Amino acid sequence: MIELLGNLSEHLGLPVNASSHGHMLDQMNGWVHWLMIILFVGWGIFFILTLVKFGFLNKEKVDCEGVKSHAGTYGEYAVILFEAFLLVGFAVPLWSLVKTDLPDVTDETVEIRVVAQQFAWNIHYPGIDGKFGRTYATLVDEEVNPIGLDRSSPHGADDIVTLNQMHLPVNKQTIIYLSSKDVIHSFSLPEMRVKQDAIPGMSTPIFFTPIMTTDEFLLEIKGSAREGKGFEIACAQLCGNSHYRMRGFLTIDTEEEYNAWLDEEAELLEEEGDDDDW
Ligand SMILES: [Cu+2]
């Protein structure tokens, strides 16, 4: 029953869901829409009844005593009960599940940092050692070091930093530590059902598990208006005059593809290092 009513979300034009928790949010969305449909139809009927009863048909019979029936009051109680049920029964447990109950970090967990700025996404990978190097505001150089990474700090030498390009392996728990360099942005992955404000001075953890690779996604959206366009990172918070072009790209790889990409990035880093020696 819960699932059946929640399936209304399939008809709401939502993006394809590509994360393990997404269907729960969609179901919740379905339930909220049922409540809204009931309220809309209920209030609409009430409005028309009122027009008929006290309006153009019955002008002479209108008295000044008002309504004596308690149906309206009971109706309001029913709505409050249903809203409380949605809030306590669904929304609060779901919020804790997808937002506050941080998963344990294991060897299998993918941890990355995302630093938003006007108007780009800097993606920071810990590299082979799995640990992030230190970053300092004083080292920030918009051309060569946008996040101020200290390559000489412990664990910093192998870190990988990309601009607007995020790769993740499929079916792996991902934790993103999100922050911002300037104003408030909002990190949004519509297909992953992830959206979180990026706030300067704060590191906000977000977590999800992708369940669909980019290749599978491209097959899934074939024939739709979205055809040919993979996952994107959108900024969902008006953050300045070029907010509209603050767009990143997310590729969900198979495990092998992901490791190959990491190797490639590590090689590029080495080549850059060689260049510096010259
Ligand atoms: Cu932004």
The percentage of the chain sitting over the pLDDT mark of 90, rounded to a whole number, equals 62
Distance 231 CA to ligand 1 centre (A): 17
Distance 242 CA to ligand 1 centre (A): 8
Res 70 pLDDT > 80: yes
Confidence band of 59 (pLDDT split at 50, 70, 90): low
CA atoms of 255 and 93, how far apart (whole Å): 31
If you average pLDDT over residues 115-133, what whole number do you get? 93
Confidence band of 90 (pLDDT split at 50, 70, 90): confident
Beta bridge partners of 200: 180
- Residue recorded with tokens 């970053």: 135
For residue 198, the model assigns a pLDDT of 96
Mode of pairing for the β-strands spanning 247-253 and 165-169: parallel
Distance 55 CA to ligand 1 centre (A): 51
For residue 278, the model assigns a pLDDT of 47
Task: Specify whether the CB–CB gap between 159 and 136 falls below 8 A.
Answer: no
CB within 5 A of ion ligand 1: which residues? 185, 235, 239, 246
Euclidean distance between the first and the last CA atom of the chain, given in angstroms as a whole number: 68
> ∠170-123-177 over CA atoms, to 5°?
80
Which of 19-28, 66-75, 79-88, 240-249 bottoms out in mean pLDDT, i.e. has the lowest?
A: 66-75
Distance 234 CA to ligand 1 centre (A): 8
For residue 71, the model assigns a pLDDT of 82
Res 272 pLDDT > 50: yes
What residues contact residue 257 under an 8 Å CB cut-off, 6+ apart? Answer: 169, 213
CA atoms of 88 and 269, how far apart (whole Å): 50
pLDDT tens digits, 177-229? 999 999 999 999 999 999 999 999 999 999 999 999 999 999 999 998 889 99
For residue 225, the model assigns a pLDDT of 87
H or E element that contains 232:
strand 231-235
For residue 7, the model assigns a pLDDT of 81
Res 75 pLDDT > 90: no
Confidence band of 120 (pLDDT split at 50, 70, 90): very high
If you average pLDDT over residues 16-31, what whole number do you get? 92
Residues in the chain: 278
CA 234 to each of CA 5, 94, 223: distance values in angstroms, whole numbers, following the listed order: 30, 23, 23
Distance 117 CA to ligand 1 centre (A): 7
For residue 222, the model assigns a pLDDT of 92
Distance 120 CA to ligand 1 centre (A): 7
If you average pLDDT over residues 3-22, what whole number do you get? 86
Task: Specify whether the CB–CB gap between 25 and 49 falls below 8 A.
Answer: no
φ and ψ of 198, to 5 deg: -100, 120
For residue 253, the model assigns a pLDDT of 95
- Residue recorded with tokens 């790889």: 253
For residue 164, the model assigns a pLDDT of 95
Alpha helices for the chain (secondary structure H): 2-6, 22-54, 71-84, 92-95, 214-220, 255-277
For residue 58, the model assigns a pLDDT of 66
85-116: b (≥16 Cβ within 10 Å) or e: ebeeebeeeeeeebeeeeeeeeeeebbbbbbb
Distance 237 CA to ligand 1 centre (A): 6
Model pTM score:
0.85
Mean pLDDT of the chain: 90
Distance 24 CA to ligand 1 centre (A): 27
Distance 61 CA to ligand 1 centre (A): 60
Distance 259 CA to ligand 1 centre (A): 29
Confidence band of 84 (pLDDT split at 50, 70, 90): very high
What domains does the chain contain, in order, with CATH numbers? Answer: 2-100 (no CATH), 110-277 (2.60.40.420)
Res 100 pLDDT > 60: yes
Distance 37 CA to ligand 1 centre (A): 34
What residues contact residue 137 under an 8 Å CB cut-off, 6+ apart? Answer: 148
Distance 94 CA to ligand 1 centre (A): 27
- What dihedral do alpha carbons 270, 167, 259, 101 form, nearest 10°? 120
Distance 16 CA to ligand 1 centre (A): 23
Mode of pairing for the β-strands spanning 174-180 and 110-117: parallel
Q: Which of 33, 272, 231 is nearest to 145 (CA)?
A: 272
